[in-house]
Amino acid sequence: MSTPVAPNVACNATLYPKFCKSMLPRNETSNIRDYSRFSVRRSLSAAKKFLSLIEKYLRHRSTLSKTAIGALEDCRLLAGLNMDFLSSTMNALNSTKPILSLETDDLQTLLSAIVTNLQTCSDGIQATASSWSLKDGLYTPLSNGTKLFSVSLSLFTRGWLHKKRKCQSCDHHGRQIFSDMKHVRHGPLPLRMSNNNREIFESFSQRKLLQASTDEVMVSDIVIVSLDGSGNYTTINDAVAAAPNNTHIDDGYFLIYIAAGVYEENVSIGKNKKYLMMIGDGINQTVITGNRSFVDGWTTFNSATFAVVGEGFVAVNITFRNTAGAIKHQAVAVRNGADLSSFYSCSFEGYQDTLYTHSLRQFYRECDIYGTVDFIFGNAAVVLQNCNIYARLPLPYQFNAVTAQGRTDPNQNTGTSIHNCTIMAAPDLALSIGTTKTYLGRPWKEYSRTIYIQSYIDKLIHPTGWTPWSGDFA
């Protein structure tokens, strides 16, 4: 990788060779890795400028519509994440220590996510009605940013990743926090915590902890959320706010136990709230519900009842619900952009766009997912295993699509894997299978990829299997 390469040769393998050549230093020949470092540095500078531009628009929010403000706030969050991801990448590339194979997978994941984040921002801005001045002002930085981030991802992939290699990041996806699922649903939980926290947990949950296990998950602290006031907090957001910031996995999980009840709140777990674990009393017992929707002026991104970006998040035995209904179109129950996150024995209930597997690496096991149009969508590297996937009855003029995968760049290490799952009709659709078409999915973006492995697919799925996205793609 230290062999000198002319800029035009390095750029020809990217999606945007002309842009790449204009961006790299002229009349200088270097190696792929140095070009990659230069490109990441330029990307970080561009991300900072873009965040400043978004904040400039938000300072004049009185002239903007609710939808435009929402889209800009989404962009601000995503631009901030991109700055973090690019800073981490640049620090790793500039380090004097050699980059291990597993680290290269981590960095490719971050660079894949910055492309997704900017695309999400762009989609939100384009969906804002009547905000032409906003669209015009952001068109060039969004377009150039998309090209720059894609070039950075491409040069990194060529410089550090080998084509024939074991998928190191697969270990992240398949890593189970709890190896024995029967304990997660009903039995003693393999959690290691102090005697005081053990007493609190067993008293409120009426569940025992395993006395000794090689698979114990360390818990640093515990708080209780209960609607009747018998716990530490009555809202989930207050419990999240009480969690420490920027913890490490070696510190253990901050456990939020959520007692049975219907919690009507939109929960947001920010980037600083890492390694949180939420355990409820079970599906349809602990319910988090909201009703935001695109029709009511929310962006798809911010319509989520439950949104998480804090790394290492874990949820167990909880129902996440968006009750806006099919008539309100895009209405997300959960939006997940948390790296190395896991959901066990949870239920996701909505209609269009129920589960937004937005970005980074995610794992779902023994979960129930209900929806109609594109109800598992996004651009994460996501595995759904041993899940029940239920298609519901859509609006009269709609068809169902289980998945809509959003990969926009061939170098992104993203895709949706559905393994050992059951795809069937929910009770409201079961009576209308003959008149409602249901497909395995459709390609949301140009490099979309979704795979079903060893899964049971019931008779509701149309014989063609897949359907195009507005006729544009395969």
What is the full DSSP assignment across 278-312? EEES-TTTEEEEE---TTTT--TGGG-SEEE-STT
Q: Which of 74, 106, 353, 374 is catalytic?
A: 374
Contact partners, residue 264, CB within 8 Å, separation at least 6: 289, 290
Cα separation, 199 vs 432, in Å, equals 50
CA distances from 97 to 100, 152, 161, 175 (A): 9, 21, 17, 27
Contact partners, residue 207, CB within 8 Å, separation at least 6: 188, 189, 201
Element counts in the chain: helices (H) and strands (E): 11, 25
Burial class (CB in 10 A: 0-12, 13-18, 19+), 327: exposed
Contact partners, residue 181, CB within 8 Å, separation at least 6: 344, 345, 365, 366, 386
Q: Degrees (nearest 5) of the Cα angle 254, 257, 258?
A: 135
Dihedral sign of CA atoms 301, 240, 226, 346 in order: positive
Residue 416 corresponds to which tokens in the numbers above?
Answer: 């949706």
Burial class (CB in 10 A: 0-12, 13-18, 19+), 467: middle
β-sheet bridge partners, residue 357: 336
Contact partners, residue 370, CB within 8 Å, separation at least 6: 347, 348, 349, 350, 354, 390, 392, 426
Residue closest to 119 by CA, chosen among 143, 154, 90:
143
Cα separation, 377 vs 102, in Å, equals 27
Cα separation, 331 vs 237, in Å, equals 20
CA distances from 81 to 51, 106, 456 (A): 10, 15, 38
In the annotation, is 250 catalytic? no
Q: Which amino acid appears at position 93 of this protein?
A: L
Burial class (CB in 10 A: 0-12, 13-18, 19+), 347: buried
Query: Contact, 337 vs 301, CB < 8 A?
Result: no
Q: Which residues are known catalytic residues?
A: 374
